[in-house]
Structure 1
């Protein structure tokens, strides 16, 4: 091969050596120069590349490696070869960034600040997502032919019918717990009969809807996030956009509608199961017959408690469904994100439900629905 890579070694008076490179230091011309450079003995103070005719990244790496091994200086590099060696050296050079020392207080404040920034950013993104869902809903109202009724019915089954068993059992046991604890505390004052007041008002107004919402968030909200997140990973949502299908219309709106419609029905069912559980315990422990229990329940429980629960239920359903779909849409990268976003969906939904429940409690108290 014409003009192959080569070098000569010149010894100076102080015992050090100069390597003078020549020829084409390219991958097709280096030949055995690599091994010969490795075998160079003695201290090397300088590597002269002024005689190099052509050099590629392989040749530049050989020169850089030799200079690094012998702690030598590369000279004669006022050309493209010199610039290439400098570039290789920059890539190989590892820069150690010292970790700043932080006091425990500063570290705590930093973590709190980061958490606040993430929380505010997530809230703003969620509000934007809610806006997209509302827009998609109104577009479907203007174009009923695009509405996917089959998907809504399918989610009725998942959100409502398949949740009857666990919601009913949970509510039944909660009713028993409320009755037992109420009876123990009220017995001290000889007012066991007021246990019925506690069961009726607490289940219809608060716990029936709240516990159902928490159960739906853990069951259906997580399922929404996992389903949509998996579709993001497999690029099904991108394919839907490619063929002109809006993901918010096809995936989010049916789930939100199903949750909004099923939550009031599940809330009524849960409240009835809690009342039945409390009534059975009152019958067994307090000797209050079922007829007396029902009559007393009708006298002390106002209809406003029922309507308060029915007002809260669809709002909770919409929040749970949108939180699950929102977190599912945030999945990026790999399958691990599906698990992380599913957990975030449940936490976010339960948090928002409790915040809204506190808001409703204050609001209804202010307007006189005590």
Structure 2
């Protein structure tokens, strides 16, 4: 009357029996339907055929344990039968397993996930399009943030008492005074490297004295400002994002809004103004340290005395825009770094992973924008003949 099939007879392992009656097809599940045991029944369950079966009965009387894997296998079998036109009936499901089965039945309604081909030309175009859309969305959002900052800045100018002087002084100490050791050390070493490499090349032509010209012009026009900006982007820009992002995670920014205080006025403006005021000073310090390192290298490697070095340096840069070009760039670089750092901090979601991800992103975006701005300055000064 009935055909009997038994898969995996071990008492503790997942097993099932199938009984085919004239009015129903019965699956008797028993044992522990858990990961590592139930998955062995995958192929056997896939091989079941429900053609011409009016009713499928899933008997869970002997079901000892059940986890998500086992529940999903039973639910997949149920849907296979429903697709074949059979009515599915559950029998004797233990009360402890009903919530899990109900959850799997509710959450797994869609078709199986199809993994897209990541190496096709279509996938490449899709990734390229998504990246461009993300870029434009990020640019629009950043533009809106700039408008918000401009509004708060105008309100602070009209009402100077709104500016928090203690916070401004504290941020100037953090981004300026505390950054001097690392900026000075790296600038000093860069001056040594530039003097050594320049002398090595110019010595072939007997023009070692022009190492001073190369050193002074390169540091004052480009290297001092851009290296200081990159160091500050990695040090202070990331700090802005991490600090504001942590406050976002701890819901401190929501508390400020609840108290009627603007997060931009309290958190962004002091940091932005502090960086705009201190980065030009750091740039001057970096220029001095870089030239000092180059002077020492020139003295010991080329025998150029300090008075001779200073005379040659004055002849190379005296009376021109060489010094001021780097100083003019510094506030713009500072504005870009502070804007991106604070913006990304306010975009942090309420989890620790988001803080780390957006801190990294803020550093990358800041350095990218600084280099783009420096390239635009180079074109502008070239057109102006400066």
TM-score range, shorter chain: 0.7 to 0.9
Distance 1:16 1:200, change over 3 A: same
Match for residue 15 of structure 1?
22
Match for residue 247 of structure 1?
263
**Structural mapping, 1:1-370, within 5 Å:** 15-16=22-23, 45-46=54-55, 68=78, 71=81, 72-73=86-87, 93-101=109-117, 104-302=120-318, 303-369=320-386
Shift of 1:109: 2.2
Distance 1:348 1:69, change over 3 A: closer
Match for residue 56 of structure 1?
none
Structure 1 window deviating more from structure 2 (94-103 vs 291-300): it is: 94-103
Alignment partners' CA distance in 1, 2:264 and 2:333: 19
TM-score scaled by length of structure 2: 0.74
2:205 aligned counterpart, secondary structure: coil
Alignment partners' CA distance in 2, 1:253 and 1:247: 9
Alignment partners' CA distance in 1, 2:278 and 2:166: 16
Shift of 1:16: 2.4
Alignment partners' CA distance in 1, 2:79 and 2:383: 80
Shift of 1:178: 0.6
Aligned length, in residue pairs: 308
Shift of 1:111: 2.0
Match for residue 80 of structure 1?
none
Can you list the C-alpha shifts for 1:150-194, whole angstroms capped at 9, x where unaligned?
Answer: 000000110000011000000000000110010011111111110
Root-mean-square deviation (Å)? 2.8
Can you list the C-alpha shifts for 1:203-258, whole angstroms capped at 9, x where unaligned?
Answer: 11100010000000000000000000000001111110111100111100000000
Match for residue 61 of structure 2?
none
Distance 1:87 1:44, change over 3 A: farther
1:313 aligned counterpart, secondary structure: helix
8 Å contact from structure 1 (residues 45, 70) kept in 2: no
Can you list the C-alpha shifts for 1:56-87, whole angstroms capped at 9, x where unaligned?
Answer: xxxxxxxx98x949955269xxxxxxxxxx99
TM-score scaled by length of structure 1: 0.77
1:16 aligned counterpart, secondary structure: coil
Shift of 1:18: 11
Alignment partners' CA distance in 1, 2:222 and 2:25: 87
Alignment partners' CA distance in 1, 2:126 and 2:53: 50
Structure 1 window deviating more from structure 2 (130-139 vs 171-180): it is: 130-139
